[in-house]
Each structure stands twice: as C-alpha cells, then as structure tokens.
Amino acid sequence: MKILITGHRGFIGQNMVKELAEHELSFYEWGEDAPKVKGLDWVIHLGAISSTTEKNVEKIMTQNYEFSKWLLHECIDAGVNFQYSSSASVYGLNTDFREDAPKNPMSPYAWSKFLFDRYVEQLGQTYISIQGFRYFNVFGKHENHKGDQASPYHKFTKQAKELGKIKLFTGSDKFLRDFVPVDYVCKLHKMFLKNNLSGIWNVGTGRATSFESVARMIAESLNAKVEYVPMPDHIKSQYQTYTCADLTKLKATIREKNLC
C-alpha cells in the first residue's frame, strides 16, 4: 500500500511512521514543495499547527484549514483515500461528546479543526473514503519537542526527573481528561485503512482521569513531590475541565465492519 503521511516529524506522525513501516511511505512537511498524490492509495494528513495557544489566526487558517482543503481536493481528483486528524477541542467547554453534539471551539486551533470537519461533512458524496479522527488527549513517545503543549504524562515525568517535583494547577482533582495512548491512535488509523468507510469518529478511551491522579501516580513512581500553582489567567477562559470520548459510534463501526 502506498501512503503519504503529512507531519511525519511531529509527535503522532513519528509514531505513525513506525506503525505503518511495512507499507511504501512518502512524507510531506509544511514549507516543502506541494505533495503529489497521484498513484497513492491513501493520504494520512497529520500535519498542522497544534498549539492551542497560538494567536496568529491567519497562520493557523492557512496551514490547518486552507491547506487541508487543498490536499483533500487533490485526493478527490486523483481518487486517493484520505485520513485526517481532528481534535476534541472542537467540543470546547461542552460536556456532550457525541460526534454530532453541538460544538464550541474556544481557540483558533479548535476553530480550524471545527471548520474543516464541517467542510468535510458538507461535501456530499465523493468517490473516495474520507476518514476523520477526533483525538482526545493523546500521550506517548516522541513528545519531547512539544514543550508546553506536551501531555501531562510527559510534562509531569520530565518535571519529576529534573526538579524532583511536579507543578500542578490548583483544583486539578476536578480537571479530568480522556487520556489516550498514541499507540492505540496509530493502530486505529491502520485498522481503518482496510475499509472504504467515510465519517468522523471520536478517538479516546471513554474514561476520564484527573490531572491530580496522573501527577500523584508519576510522583510516587519517581519519588517526587507535588506542588500546587495557580492557573495562568491567559488560559482560564478556554480551559477544558472535562473531556471523555463518547465511543458509541466508533465501537459500532468496529463491530459492524469486523475491524478487530
């Protein structure tokens, strides 16, 4: 199978390359010459500005939205199937996480993902498979370059090893997220490559875990302390205090199509 992966140097991209190593892979990163898709079986579009605190709206819309539309239409014209990464940030501060639930994007990044999802849903019938995966809080290997955007698992482990303490926002016992391993995300992409399905699916575990639970687990394993700090004002208004993937649609698809 011939597959183009965009964003292959990123966190999920590096893991995806390893997961799909038996296939004939090619790669694209933003800034390179426009990718050629003719003759491919699939494009897996992971490349994006993923920072939820990036304020340059024009930059985000160009890379995350306009380029995604261009690449999708290149695939439609060439008859190449298309997978892409979406985000649970489209739900914003809502607590209904069904795929068809109302959306409430709170950052330019979340808006770019919401708008592309919406564009895909309004396309109508095409002759290719278009599969969107709405990631919840992904964690795992190759997060080193993400800085403040890294998962709590990575940040807390790094702090514990380097400082002997973990800095945790006050009230983190009430901040719960659906943390999903990156290995599972990549295996799900691979599973869906074998089918001509189209749609958008939540990707998570269906369980919510508090930041405090994660911090204390890591602190205990690395003999570190937990230190509470106030949440910065600039992230308070858009901070998701709770996420938990509704996996009803994903489980039904896997069951009905016998994807396991």
- Do 116 and 48 have their domain in common? yes
- Do 15 and 92 have their domain in common? yes
- Do 160 and 83 have their domain in common? no
146 has catalytic annotation: yes
Candidates 2, 69, 146, 165; catalytic one: 146
- Do 130 and 151 have their domain in common? no
Provide mean pLDDT across the span 151-168. 94
174 has catalytic annotation: no
32: CATH: 3.40.50.720
- Do 99 and 127 have their domain in common? yes
CB 112 within 8 A of CB 102: no
Q: Which two tokens stand for residue 135?
A: 């990631």
- 172 contacts: CB under 8 Å, gap ≥ 6: 210, 211, 212, 215, 228
Provide mean pLDDT across the span 105-131. 95
Number of domains in the chain: 2
- Do 115 and 162 have their domain in common? no
Candidates 109, 113, 135, 155; catalytic one: 109
Q: Which two tokens stand for residue 138?
A: 């992904």
- Do 109 and 131 have their domain in common? yes
What is the DSSP pairing of strand 176-177 with strand 199-203? Answer: unpaired
Alpha helices by DSSP H, listed for the chain, are: 11-19, 57-60, 67-78, 108-121, 152-163, 182-192, 211-222, 233-236, 248-256
pLDDT in tens, 129-156: 999 999 999 999 999 887 778 899 999 9
With 0-12 / 13-18 / 19 or more C-beta atoms within 10 angstroms meaning exposed / middle / buried, residue 71 is buried
- Do 132 and 186 have their domain in common? yes
The per-residue pLDDT for 121 is: 96
- Do 129 and 169 have their domain in common? no
- Do 35 and 159 have their domain in common? no
- Do 128 and 40 have their domain in common? yes
Q: What percentage of the chain carries pLDDT values higher than 70?
A: 100
236 pLDDT exceeds 90? no
Give the range of the structural domain holding residue 51, as residue numbers without chain letter.
2-140+179-205+245-256
Q: In the block, which residue shows the tokens 């994660």? A: 214
- Do 80 and 184 have their domain in common? yes
pLDDT in tens, 42-94: 999 999 998 888 889 999 999 999 999 999 999 999 999 999 999 999 999 99
